[in-house]
Structure 1
Amino acid sequence: MKQLFFLLLLACAGTLFCISCREKEDNSANVVTGLEAMAKVERLPFLFPPGTKKNRFISYDASGGNGFGLLQSTFKKYIDSSGELVIFDAYGPGCLYRQQMNIWKGIGQMSPTLRIRYYFDDEATPKVDLPVKEFFSGQHAPITAPFTLLDKHDNFGICYYPFPFSKRLKVTLSDTLITRLLKENNDDGRNWYQYDYLTYPQGTMVNSWTSESDEYEKTVKEQWTHLGSDPKDTAGNRYTEKHVSLQPNEKAVVFASPKEGSVTGIQLKISPYSAETFYNTYIRIYWDDLKPPAVDMPVSYFFGGGGWKDNKWEASLSNLLFGFDAGQHSMYCYWPMPFWKKARIEIVNKSKTPISALTSRIAYKPASVYRYPQHKAAYFMAKLTKDSADGAWTRKFERPYVNAFKEEGHGQVVSVNMWSGNFLEDGDEFTYIDDQHMPRIHGDGTEDDFNQGWAGFTYAKPLWGALISGVKGSYRIHMNEPYIFYNSIDMRFEQTGGRYGYPAMLARRRTGTDTSTCETEFVVCYYKAAGGRTLLLSDSLDVGDAVSEQSHAYKITGQQWSGTLTQSYDSYATADDYNETTDNGRSFNGYSEFSVHLNPQNEGVRLTARINRSGNGIQTGNVYVDGKKLPLPWHIVTYSDMPQKGERSFDGWFDSEYEIPKAYTQGKKQVTVKIEYVQSVKRELNSFRYWVYCYRQ
């Protein structure tokens, strides 16, 4: 009888355990935002729902010049009805995670009373209304350190306190000084900012931010103040420790698992610890049946120390997820790394020195403790990309950029580490996602893209910092706002050398770098799904082409213009006509309507429109699918006041995207889309081409 009772108890426990696993799988599809998302580092491998995107509001010169901080041309997006300068305006659901601002040598220096205001969900009264310097220096709870930092020399400010928003978030600057400068047409050119945020599919439940206490704030603060320790929950961890010696060209397996699970931490110690062993000992990580290995690079790069030219092997680095300590001869990383069949971690001694003692401690969780559903999570990977180009100080390049990272498929980039020689900080980030013609993410100077300003400094913060400067040994962890790609990602950094003289050139060199060569090295950590591309083109409409319009039952009312334009997308400093394209199109202040073909098994639709942004600033339209009006307007805030270069402006073309939820498209082979004019600077909307993409699982 006792045996029967025991067997029944085991069966019930097994049933409860399976239910628990299923509940975890079901809940993993939910969008987690704000401080909760920041606290739950173990969720990094989970893929976001189709239609989730990383976005950036920024002051930048789309014409390819260096006029990033001009108050009139790039810093403001528009002036609202209250006379406030709008720098951020996005419709939700979404979450603003990262704010970098560099104005304290510009309008911030001129006016200590300059205020920053945050308006949520079209409310008339801002929930945050503070002097901008007090905001970034963290003088008002709950927006305090370690989430905020104002550089002690007033070079830049950082805020990582998250602001979720359900419907809309608008951020403005307000001051009598701004009113006067705008009236005087004073284009004070020392104002920069970058705001990174995620947007989620329409209908996603996100609660807008309030100043009330958040249960996850304490957790995140503890994680950020105990760098070097695993920020994840270690309950249920298993550990494998090994002590091996390695002759040159010898390798050792330090971890192997034949069953599903996840690696939660890697700790290594090397003896002798020297430049030779640090730069020439490799780590290789294999997941399931993937080829080649997901990670294959020197430990120096993987743990944040760079290559031999940078000569930082005697330094130390500590951030939230990886680091090394020359004094302890140790290194660590705490990326969560799921696998579903098997896993293997190898250490290879490619140095000329025998390693007498390699100590490894690998933490992992069996699937019975924590299970990542394979169809909802992705493999951890890391890639080292080295690039170089001649002509660093003559501005005569074979191409106007260096390559930082390329990948195809579906995934999300979670960290970028940069090393360079003869690279000028003024170069911008250009990140193209899902085969777009223009960069989804555009920077305003590389040091700013790594959260600094004015060349950068040796900060070591949980999510960003540098061992040398803003472009040497600089790192940024994008765990809150990853670069989400469904088809592809192409990350580049602009070549802008030749602006400064010989002393500045010497400051940008490094050991073994020729004076005429620009060198860059990037280590990018990312998660990639097992399948291929998940955003597939199902149809396209060429506006202005009679055959294409007829086949898509195209209609237009209130037409204001039709014709052909030759313009460029975002241009590079050394190629101001980059990606020049000629296209025909139309503008209207009534509506345009057309039918498009879909894959009925879609998980939602991305509608991409090529528009002419020049002079049209903020543009808003209503969207209808098969006669049903969608809750979210098509809201486009572009850069409309850029001065022309020569006879024409180079900021013309802009690819704008609108995400249609699957509730309006799933199971349909064809839908009719209607775009209805609401507002714009020119009192018209325009379109030149539409691309229709369907998400698939």
Structure 2
Amino acid sequence: MYRLWFTGFDPDTANLKIYIDGALFARTYLLAKLFTGAYSELPSPLAGEESAGFYCYVPIPFRSSIRITTNGAAAKPLQLFYYNVGYHRYTRGRNIVSWPESNAAVAAAVGVWNKAELGENPNSGDPTTVRISGSVRLPGMGIPISLQEIEGPRIVYGIRINVDADVSVVNDILLRITWDREPDAAVHAPLSAFFALGHYGANSARSLVVGAIDDWLYTYFPMPFAHHANIELINRRPMPLESVKYEILHKAFNEDFSRVGYFRTAYFRHLAGPGLSMTLLDIEGAGQLVGVAMSFEGSGPHDMEANAPSLLFLEGDERIYVDDCRTPTIYGTGTEDFFNAGWYFTKVPFSKPVHGCTTKNTDKGYGVVSAYRLFLHDAVPFRKHLRATIEHGPANDVPVLARTVAYYYYQPVIRALPWGRLEIGDPGSESQYGYWNSSQHWSGSRTYTFEGDLDKIQISHGGRAHRGTSRFAFPTPADNQGFLLRRMFDQGIRNQRARVRVNGQDLGSWSRTGGNTADNDAGRGKWCEDDLPIPASFTSGKTYLHFDVAYEPSDATLSDPALDWNEFSYSLYDLHETGPAHPSLMSPRLPILCAIDVVSRNLDKLDLVCPDEGGTLVPVAWEPIFGASWYVWRSIAGVSVLPGCPVSLVSRSTDKIDAFFN
């Protein structure tokens, strides 16, 4: 567990109890003291309070289970008590050491967080570092000026920029970084957004990895690259800037690039109208989301109680979807909660190592807010796809102008490949995967929506529920690194739990605490998808995975145990967590007038073979399960052709393709 956040609790009575690995006795904390550093195992500044938001970033590892309870005491009558809990879940067999009372790593983190107030580079001190500094003239009119081009493999781990001009200038100067001579920049954002200052003034951020101190903007995000880096500034104003100082730190990088991602950003300017959330990042591939910085301005209804323009747009919730799961992996309780504050940011500006609010203003007849949040030890990993959105208002009903930047690390590969999908209630699919169940409790069809951005799209699907065991099997590639099994189910039945066996081996319990029992005609939010990781120790070398999913009564501590275990579909994803991964999303570079042939070897499957500009034959494939992307597979070994050589394809069966070329 990486993050706890609370607001609205009664400081005199509210408490928190944490049960680790099924312990009968809990560690008990008074919430009013927990965030002051009064408990030695939860030290400040990893635990603290700012702007009515109470947060704790002390990692609390658990080996088998964790249960967190509270008396839920609110500070005022009719006031709600809000909480967020963030955690990572690992596959079985990982060497997890449960939460100790003292932890040297936590003590080291305290030291790093304390340095953030000084704007110090946490990676400094390496004697092999190359430090480049200088000053450039930015001519204006959008002409890019390169600060430095660096040959790799290297890692940039510090960039500092000093713009000796009015603070508003940083809205009009862009930072652009290109890796390995790719045609598109990996970083392309205004300085005010990239360095988390916000769009509206001089209040500076001072976080662990982005911010400003003593007129210097800084970023300490590690940025490895294999071949080439080009770091540029672009002045969009008509008038030149005569002197912009800079400093760049880089050093050798000798690690395996299949194990690291390239640093990138996604910058957007949103004019958000009714009905749709704002997209912070939507990317196909693998990587980790490590932060966002946002600036909003909106003109919601006037707040009569405060006699000020409303900040109602802050009622929007963040939603983060991972690997095409239609249920948000992260679903928040409000915009200021997402930034670890509370009640529309009661005290600003403030800047903390991983979160802050640099601006809040209602003096101009409308509300403006700038804030940032970093996910460092609580990074959001994705293997196939990530989509992060945020609402503007309670139901995307408050018009806003927003500028957002998302920081992330990225590999253009698919590390969770869709492998198969069992549709419960479909006789053909059930027969294909050998589905069977005992003690069936219900069968039929339901029409519901998912929670979050899909809560207005009704989906009808057949399914079954049982109090016995369901069985099914998927054919699998033997050279796998594990799998992910995803279940679609009706979460109107709360607290479902089952015991899972894979090829006869006990994988443990699969449980989903809570649910959505809202009684509404549309069944809004009752569909849910949940993932079960299956480690390679259960799957490596296997060409079939046989699943037994046995209903279990819910935890006795829950007030409403599950009636049954229901299932509407199971999807299997083939994982390749480490090493070179295929398919890739890097399109082959083809010569002009290159001939491409295409063949359909099966229903809804297309295959291309492209002779790239180096004379290598590259297979590219598409099918509906891949979504909007073409997947690039390993080049055909031992074959070399002239660039642009015509290639003809023929499919002689559903899984065989022959290529003919001269």
C-alpha distance 628-215 of structure 1, shift in aligned 2 (>3 A)? closer
Aligned residue type for 1:553: G
Q: Is the 8 A contact 1:608 1:656 kept in 2?
A: yes
Report the equivalent of 1:388. 271
State the alpha-carbon separation in 2 of the partners of residues 434 and 347 from structure 1.
34
CA offsets per residue over residues 334-367 of structure 1, 9 Å max, x none? 0000011121111222222222212111011113
Answering whether residue 166 of structure 2 is matched by residue 274 of structure 1, we say: yes
TM-score of the aligned structures, taking structure 1 as reference length: 0.75
Report the equivalent of 2:519. 644
Q: Offset of 1:389 from its aligned partner?
A: 2.8
CA offsets per residue over residues 380-429 of structure 1, 9 Å max, x none? 01110122233xxxxxx2x3322222111101110111111116111111
State the alpha-carbon separation in 1 of the partners of residues 109 and 526 from structure 2.
46
State the alpha-carbon separation in 1 of the partners of residues 252 and 445 from structure 2.
60
Match of 2:87, SS? strand
Report the equivalent of 1:485. 382
Structure with the higher fraction of residues in strand conformation:
2
Report the equivalent of 1:509. none
Q: Select the residue among 531, 538, 541 that pairs with 2:419.
A: 538
Answering whether residue 132 of structure 2 is matched by residue 243 of structure 1, we say: no
Report the equivalent of 1:318. 206
Answering whether residue 430 of structure 2 is matched by residue 549 of structure 1, we say: yes
Aligned residue runs from structure 1 range 449-598, under 5 A: 449-456=338-345, 457-469=348-360, 472-496=369-393, 517-529=399-411, 531-571=412-452, 577-598=455-476
Q: Select the residue among 189, 208, 222 that pairs with 1:336.
A: 222
Q: Offset of 1:446 from its aligned partner?
A: 1.1
Q: Is the 8 A contact 2:46 2:110 kept in 1?
A: no
CA offsets per residue over residues 286-337 of structure 1, 9 Å max, x none? 1114330111122121112233xx2x1x332211111124xx4321100000
Report the equivalent of 1:661. 535
Q: Offset of 1:483 from its aligned partner?
A: 1.5
Q: Offset of 1:174 from its aligned partner?
A: 4.2
Q: Is the 8 A contact 1:319 1:462 kept in 2?
A: yes
Answering whether residue 207 of structure 2 is matched by residue 352 of structure 1, we say: no
Aligned residue type for 2:400: C
Aligned residue type for 1:686: N
Aligned residue type for 2:415: T
Match of 2:448, SS? strand
State the alpha-carbon separation in 2 of the partners of residues 525 and 172 from structure 1.
33
Aligned residue type for 1:134: K
Match of 1:347, SS? strand
State the alpha-carbon separation in 1 of the partners of residues 193 and 146 from structure 2.
20
CA offsets per residue over residues 614-672 of structure 1, 9 Å max, x none? 0x222221111111111x311111324x4323x35423111011011112122223211
Report the equivalent of 2:610. none
Q: Select the residue among 66, 78, 85 that pairs with 1:169.
A: 66
Answering whether residue 366 of structure 2 is matched by residue 366 of structure 1, we say: no
C-alpha distance 581-460 of structure 1, shift in aligned 2 (>3 A)? same
State the alpha-carbon separation in 2 of the partners of residues 353 and 224 from structure 1.
40
Report the equivalent of 2:2. 97
State the alpha-carbon separation in 2 of the partners of residues 684 and 499 from structure 1.
36
Aligned residue type for 2:63: S
Report the equivalent of 1:63. none
State the alpha-carbon separation in 2 of the partners of residues 455 and 434 from structure 1.
32
Q: Is the 8 A contact 1:562 1:586 kept in 2?
A: yes
Q: Is the 8 A contact 1:276 1:351 kept in 2?
A: no
C-alpha distance 226-465 of structure 1, shift in aligned 2 (>3 A)? closer
Aligned residue runs from structure 1 range 105-184, under 5 A: 108=10, 112-126=12-26, 128-151=27-50, 155-174=52-71
Q: Select the residue among 567, 580, 586 that pairs with 1:687.
A: 567
State the alpha-carbon separation in 1 of the partners of residues 106 and 399 from structure 2.
47
Aligned residue type for 1:556: N
TM-score of the aligned structures, taking structure 2 as reference length: 0.78
Structure with the higher fraction of residues in helix conformation:
1
Q: Is the 8 A contact 2:44 2:110 kept in 1?
A: no
CA offsets per residue over residues 478-533 of structure 1, 9 Å max, x none? 01111211111111112436999xxxxxxxxxxxxxxx84222211010001x322
Aligned residue type for 1:665: T
Q: Offset of 1:542 from its aligned partner?
A: 0.8
Report the equivalent of 1:678. 552
Q: Offset of 1:119 from its aligned partner?
A: 1.1
C-alpha distance 527-499 of structure 1, shift in aligned 2 (>3 A)? closer
C-alpha distance 188-606 of structure 1, shift in aligned 2 (>3 A)? farther
CA offsets per residue over residues 75-112 of structure 1, 9 Å max, x none? xxxxxxxxxxxxxxxxxxxxx111111132xxx25xx2
Higher relative contact order (CA 8 A, sep 6+): 1
Report the equivalent of 1:303. 195
Q: Is the 8 A contact 2:4 2:86 kept in 1?
A: yes
Q: Is the 8 A contact 2:194 2:293 kept in 1?
A: no
State the alpha-carbon separation in 1 of the partners of residues 77 and 88 from structure 2.
31
Q: Is the 8 A contact 2:224 2:263 kept in 1?
A: yes
C-alpha distance 468-579 of structure 1, shift in aligned 2 (>3 A)? same
State the alpha-carbon separation in 2 of the partners of residues 481 and 410 from structure 1.
16
Report the equivalent of 1:508. none
Report the equivalent of 2:294. 418
State the alpha-carbon separation in 1 of the partners of residues 193 and 114 from structure 2.
23
Q: Is the 8 A contact 2:193 2:403 kept in 1?
A: no
Match of 2:439, SS? strand
Match of 1:587, SS? strand
Report the equivalent of 1:28. none
Q: Select the residue among 503, 513, 532 that pairs with 1:626.
A: 503
Q: Offset of 1:264 from its aligned partner?
A: 0.7
State the alpha-carbon separation in 2 of the partners of residues 554 and 222 from structure 1.
53
C-alpha distance 195-216 of structure 1, shift in aligned 2 (>3 A)? closer
CA offsets per residue over residues 183-209 of structure 1, 9 Å max, x none? xxx995501111111112221111111
Match of 1:264, SS? strand
Report the equivalent of 2:258. 375
Q: Offset of 1:151 from its aligned partner?
A: 4.2
Match of 1:316, SS? coil
Match of 2:369, SS? coil
Aligned residue runs from structure 1 range 425-444, under 5 A: 425-444=314-333
Answering whether residue 175 of structure 2 is matched by residue 283 of structure 1, we say: yes
Q: Select the residue among 486, 497, 501 that pairs with 1:608.
A: 486
Q: Is the 8 A contact 1:303 1:332 kept in 2?
A: yes
State the alpha-carbon separation in 1 of the partners of residues 198 and 78 from structure 2.
38
Q: Is the 8 A contact 2:483 2:572 kept in 1?
A: yes
Report the equivalent of 2:94. 204
Q: Is the 8 A contact 2:193 2:294 kept in 1?
A: no
Q: Quick check: 595-604 or 294-303, which moved more?
A: 595-604
Question: Alignment RMSD, CA only?
Answer: 2.4
CA offsets per residue over residues 122-166 of structure 1, 9 Å max, x none? 11122x2121221123211131211112347xx331111111112
State the alpha-carbon separation in 1 of the partners of residues 321 and 18 from structure 2.
29
Aligned residue type for 1:473: S
Report the equivalent of 2:149. 256
Q: Is the 8 A contact 2:447 2:523 kept in 1?
A: no
Q: Quick check: 215-224 or 261-270, which moved more?
A: 215-224
Report the equivalent of 1:3. none
